[in-house]
Amino acid sequence: MKTLLQTLIGQALLQLQAEGALSGVELPAIPVERTRDRTHGDFASSIALGLAKAARSKPRDLAERIVAALPASERLAQVEIAGPGFINFFLTPGAYRAVVAEILNQSDAFGRSQIGGGRRVQVEFVSANPTGPLHVGHGRGAAFGATVANLLEAVGYQVHREYYVNDAGRQMNILAASVWLRYLEHCGESFRFPSNGYRGGYVRDLAARLYAEHGSAYVTSAAQAFQNLPQDDIYDEDGNLVTPGDKEAHIDALVECARALLGDQHYRYVFELGLNAILDDIRDDLQEFGVVYDHWYSERTLEERGAVNKILQRLRDAGQLYEKDGALWFRSTRFGDEKDRVMQRENGQTTYFASDIAYHLEKFERGFDWVIDVWGADHHGYVPRVKGALQALGADPAKLDVLLVQFAILYRNGERVQMSTRSGDFVTLRELRHEVGNDAARFFYVLRKSEQHLDFDLDLAKSQSKDNPVYYIQYAHARVCSVLRQLREKGLPRNEARGRDHLALLTEPHEEALLIALARYPEVVEAAALNHEPHQLAQYLRELANAFHSYYNEHRVLVSEDGLRDARLNLSLATRQVIRNGLGLLGVAAPEAM
């Protein structure tokens, strides 16, 4: 409907140009919005207000000329001018009924468009450090990022989905040291495990695997070496700090101790064992969640190609770096950051920030027209420094959008589920999926704006009631399938063409409400895609399901009159198609029976 009105207005403007009324005026995109109050029409356009100045006309006068030039359309019942120059459009009942045929004709393609024009966009999401299993927080980023990518693809963008693997740097070294220490414990060694090490049960599993494969070959006399390390923080059994130390210096020294005692070959094996096992688990977990990537990009490849050193040199040549306290700093305050940032530490090691800049610059060098990052909300302060560095390197920071995702908070029996990542006391994405199912997890994760905190009610997600939105929507789809089964069981004929010929019989208020809801679907997909707001689609599907359930509960579909029955069947099938299309974009199944 919106596209039709934009086309009609566009034709009117071209006619006015030909007549000289808009001579030399560049025509803009034509705004058409659905009205909030249908007494003011179904749609409204502010095009006259936007063009009035360039046309040297009063907005209302220009609106009158546009209306007069509008081509005739059987879908337009009335056009009015309101206020200073708004154009309000009233559609005929037949305009909404026509959407049934459009849906049935286009099938899976209904709601899709070519707004993106084939432009290349990269969506990078999740990208969790491979230091442990994915937890429920990562799950929200996965569901959100995957749905944003699906929506952009649906409106005509060429989408590349990517996972950035942080397989180099400090956290991976801490993981390797943690695995080795648990291995020593497995072999009978006794010492205090570092407070800043990774403590999850998966680390013990990796240590047991190392022992199963190599026995005691990786055991070294470490007790004396550990005594010479900087003092760690010491906690009691209840987690209270008893003796403060320097836990960061302690874990860094412990990593170097592990390197020295194991030797390069053995240390690298432990490092790769942890990395590959956890990365394989992450890959499998996401694939089972319906999240598949085009590319898994290794951070180490940046270092191997010298990409990080190259961007440091470029920034140095541009006068954007300086040395202080033995470290190399980027002048990020020039680009709106709150303070300058270290690119290379005094020990010569480059920072995560330096690698991230090299990675983002490489994204644009690969020819993407638009880059979207999905980050946790705690990274909001990271955005200006990344954009600033890109600008300093000559890239256009406006081509990078960073979407922030708040953490998901789980509730069971009305009580918040406590989680702590480093201690290993957290709910994994796999555990959540097994408890509530993929469909509920995918849907609940995108039910709210990504930047809003999400309270995930586990009991509601498992319930089979209208209060559970994903169940309610899937049940609407299954209900239509049930109607078709009843049709076959009763031996009633079905004639789709006859149903199209009798759509004018769909005059009940519930039918009209359902038709209006169906017609909104392409607009919702477009808005959800361009605004990166999957929750718009989720909420729309809930409203559509409610419109169908209300209709179904008040009116029989399988009536005796052939024409009305076929018209109602077509309406029901169109509803099923739209629900299936929408759920598909959300990564949720559309079951035929429940």
pLDDT for residue 419: 64
- Name the residue with tokens 């220490």: 181
Q: Which helix (H) or strand (E) holds 161?
A: strand 158-165
Q: Which of 383, 385, 377 minimizes the C-alpha distance to 401? A: 383
Which residues, including other chains, have CB under 8 Å from residue 105's CB and lie 6 or more apart? none
pLDDT of 234 above 90: no
Whole-number pLDDT of residue 425: 63
What sign for the dihedral angle of Cα 165, 169, 171, 175? positive
Q: Determine the pLDDT at residue 424.
A: 52
The span from the CA of 68 to the CA of 89, in Å, is 13
pLDDT for the residue numbered 421: 46
Per-residue pLDDT of 429-442, as tens digits, reads: 999 999 999 999 99
Q: What is the pLDDT, as a whole number, of residue 401?
A: 97
Mean pLDDT of 368-379: 95
Nearest to 364, CA basis, from 388, 332, 397: 397
Task: Work out the average pLDDT over 529-537.
Answer: 98
Listed residue (443, 458, 460, 456) closest to 545, CA to CA:
443
Q: Map out the domains of the chain with their CATH numbers.
A: 2-91 (3.30.1360.70), 97-116+465-586 (1.10.730.10), 170-281 (no CATH)
How do residues 414-473 score in pLDDT, each as one tens digit?
999 876 544 556 789 999 999 999 999 999 999 999 999 999 999 999 999 999 999 999
With tokens 């990542």, the residue in question is: 421
Phi, psi (5° rounding) for residue 173?
Answer: -70, -35
pLDDT higher than threshold 80 for residue 223: no
Residue 448 pLDDT = 96
Residue 2 has pLDDT above 90, yes or no: no
> Is 235 or 182 the better-scoring residue by pLDDT?
182
Average pLDDT estimate for 256-266: 94
> Confidence band (pLDDT; 50, 70, 90) for 400?
very high
| pLDDT beyond 80 at 349 | yes
Q: Above 90 in pLDDT, residue 212?
A: yes
Residue 528 pLDDT more than 50?
A: yes
Average pLDDT over residues 92-116: 95
Average pLDDT for residues 520-536, to the nearest whole number? 97
Mean pLDDT, the chain, rounded, equals 94
pLDDT digits (tens, 9 = 90+) for 23-51: 888 888 999 999 988 888 999 999 999 99
| Summary count for the chain: helices (H), strands (E) | 21, 17
- Residue 141: pLDDT over 90: yes
Instruction: Check whether 225 has a pLDDT greater than 80.
Output: no
